Amino acid sequence: MVVLLALGAIGVLLLSQRQASQTGKEAVNEPQAGGLYTEALIGSINRLNPVLDYYNSPDYDIDQLIYSRLVRFDNRGLPHGDLAQDWGISQDGKVYNFAIRPKAVWHDGQPVTSDDVLFTIDLLRSQDLPVPPDVQQFWNQVEVQALDEKTLQFHLPEPFSPFLDYLNFGILPKHLLENISPADLIDAPFNLQPVGSGPYKFQNLVVENGKVTGVALQAFKEYYGAKPFIEKINFKYYPDSATALAAYKQDEVMGISQITPDILPEALKEPALNLFTGRLPNLSLVYLNLNNPQTPFFQDPVVRRALMMGINRRLILDHLLGGQGILANGPIFPENWAYYEGIQQIPYDPDAAVQLLKSAGYTFPASGAQVRSKDGAALSFEMVYPDTEIYTAIAQRIQSDWQKLGVQVKLTPLTYDDMVANYLEKRNYQAALAEMNFDRAPDPDPYPFWHQAQIASGQNYSQWDDRQVSEYLEQARVTVDYAERAKRYRNFQVRFMNELPALPLFYPVYTYAVDQQVKGVSMGPLYNSADRFDGISSWYMVSGPTGKGIPTPTPKP
């Protein structure tokens, strides 16, 4: 979704028509190299190093432009070669061969080789670096070997279709870092003078009063891929979106990395500021503990459907989130290759929800209490939720909606870490308003969240025990063919929406802003905020005639 406010279009059209009438040819302008784009980043610099940027979004944003990866993913979550010119997979799905582009070189002119990939993977395995534990564990189970300078091979212990997700990391230059231990790498000067092989190379830090306030990049002329038109990109750091918007109004920057809901109305008033919105890789939902003896009614799919139908999700989106979200119709993101377009959509229908509860045997007791009960058991439970302003408002809205059905909910606010560690992971809860985060994970792979094997100690917090679903997820995890995997995930999604082990609410969205002087910008669904740069090679600020023109057709007599 994009908000575009273009100025002067009529004048340009009239001018081109006048030129065409004078020359007999239509003037044709095309993007040309040149220009300086300056963007406001929210946050501060830490380390411009792809094995050290997992916990600092501004670093990862810049690293997307400096470093190359073996593969990148499009907005449907499908892999495409980046440094990898091609790859092949063995029939059993355990061996992957990759060929690196022969013209790929580092920003210092040295060739990118298989050894650089192996070197980076060794760093990802290191216990001395702040790499996420699941990433470290994964790479310690995979064997990697260089077949020659530009070819390498991965051996997996068992077939694992989401493997390509794990290759979406920036590659580091071995020839510059091999003599630095992993522990020393954390504070190495390289992290503030990075050398990559991506479309832009590091130029310098911008320092004011002894503090780094920005980073300057320059287009890399020897880049193996599509050369970017914009010659230079400068990033400036700001503490929040409001300060960044103020900087835009003062002509200090041309783009703002994120427009948060609090400044969205103000940003929309800027006539030259184009806003781009994309779905984030997050899903807000209500977990229902299907194995809690205190809430046996959650085992009834009719009750779960009634609860789903009783939530006014559209009101939550429009009034609490300011429209910054998309209604969720399942656990797989829309527009992802695995999403099933025919998925059942459950509307807000409180009257139908009441009828469902009545059909399940829940009525108001003769005592006049406003809580439905069945066989003396009240339809009442506790819902924990993150103690933030927005989630407090959402939880209260859901509580109010369910109260209209005769369902009583006690709300308990918690810090998010406490909720996950002491309630969800210990299965010590009845219902939980939470968010699933799939950041940097384009492959949907629902296995960790809904498979039977994850009930006791994994992330199947609802404890959904469905053998049919587990078989779909097992098969999809070992099937290389995307069409076959999509069939398994289609079946999974249909069954999920029929059974509703959890109640999907919405997918939040991300809003990015760029001045209209920058052309060719587009943004689709995101798997990380840095994905806004996926089409950077098509952006341009300078254009001019091609010198050829297009002949104007001669009118018929």
Name the more confident of 28 and 139: 139
Instruction: Name residue 285's beta-bridge partners.
Output: 434, 504
Q: What is the pTM of this model?
A: 0.89
463-476 pLDDT, tens digit per residue, is 999 999 999 999 99
Tell me the mean pLDDT in the region 50-73.
97
483: pLDDT strictly greater than 90? yes
State residue 27's pLDDT score.
56
Choose which CATH entry (3.40.50.150, 3.90.76.10, 3.40.50.300, 3.40.50.20) describes domain 68-197: 3.90.76.10
**Distance, CA of 230 to CA of 223 (rounded, Å):** 14
Q: Residue 106's Cα: distance from chain center in Å?
A: 28
For 294, residues 6+ apart whose C-beta sits below 8 A from its C-beta are 381, 430
Alpha helices by DSSP H, 44-195: 57-66, 114-125, 133-139, 174-177, 182-185
One of 3.30.1180.20, 3.10.105.10, 3.40.1350.10, 3.40.50.1100 is the CATH number of 282-508, namely: 3.10.105.10
Question: Average pLDDT in the 190-209 region?
Answer: 97
What percent of the chain has a predicted confidence (pLDDT) above 70? 93
Q: What's the angle, vertex CA 282, arms to CA 277 and CA 286, rounded to 5?
A: 125
CA 389, chain centre distance (Å): 23
Higher pLDDT, 124 or 1: 124
Q: Compute the distance between CA of residue 135 and CA of residue 125 in angstroms, rounded to an integer.
A: 8
Helix pair 301-309, 482-499: axis angle to 10 deg: 90
Residue 305: closest CA among 355, 364, 353, 377? 353
Q: Which CATH architecture has domain 27-44+199-272+516-550?
A: 3-Layer(aba) Sandwich (3.40)
Instruction: Using the predicted structure, report yes or no on whether residue 143 has a pLDDT greater than 80.
Output: yes
For the cut 90, the answer to whether the pLDDT of residue 161 exceeds it is: yes
Contact residues for 369 (Cβ-Cβ < 8 A; gap 6+): 378
**Which residue in 271, 229, 238, 282 sits closest to 257, CA to CA?**
238
Provide the pLDDT confidence category of residue 545 given band limits of 50, 70 and 90: confident
- Is 60 exceeded by the pLDDT of residue 21? no
Q: What is the pLDDT of residue 546?
A: 64
pLDDT of 555 higher than 80:
no
Judged against a pLDDT cut of 60, whether residue 553 lies above it is answered with no
Q: What is the 3-state secondary structure (H, E, C) of 481-494?
A: CHHHHHHHHHHHHH
Whether residue 2 is predicted with pLDDT greater than 80 in this model: the reply is no
pLDDT value for 26: 53
What average pLDDT does range 523-532 have in this prediction?
96
140 falls in which pLDDT band (50, 70, 90)? very high
Q: What is the pLDDT of residue 365?
A: 85
Mean pLDDT (whole number) for 505-515: 97
User: Has residue 89 got a pLDDT over 80?
Assistant: yes
pLDDT of residue 28: 67
Comparing 22 with 397, which gets the higher pLDDT? 397
Measured distance between the N- and C-terminal CA atoms of the chain, rounded to whole angstroms: 46
**For the chain, what is the mean pLDDT?**
92
- pLDDT value for 448: 96
Residue 207 pairs in a beta bridge with 212
In this structure, the number of other CB atoms found within 10 A of the CB of residue 278 comes to: 22
At 433, which helix (H) or strand (E)? strand 431-437
Whether pLDDT at 557 is above 80 = no
The pLDDT, as a whole number, for residue 205 is 98
Mean pLDDT of 248-257: 98
Provide the residue ranges of all domains of the chain, joining segments of one domain with +.
27-44+199-272+516-550, 68-197, 282-508
Q: Span 117-124, mean pLDDT?
A: 98
**pLDDT value of residue 485:** 97
Q: What is the percent of the chain where pLDDT is above 90?
A: 91
Q: How many whole angstroms separate alpha carbon 262 and alpha carbon 390? A: 12
**Looking at the predicted structure, is the pLDDT value of residue 5 above 80?**
no
pLDDT (average), residues 262-282: 97
- In this model, does residue 20 exceed pLDDT 50? no
Q: What are phi and psi of 495, to 5 degrees?
A: -70, -35
Give me the amino acid identity at 290. Answer: L
Query: How does residue 376 score in pLDDT terms, banded at 50, 70 and 90?
Result: confident
**How many angstroms separate the CA atoms of 539 and 137, rounded?**
38
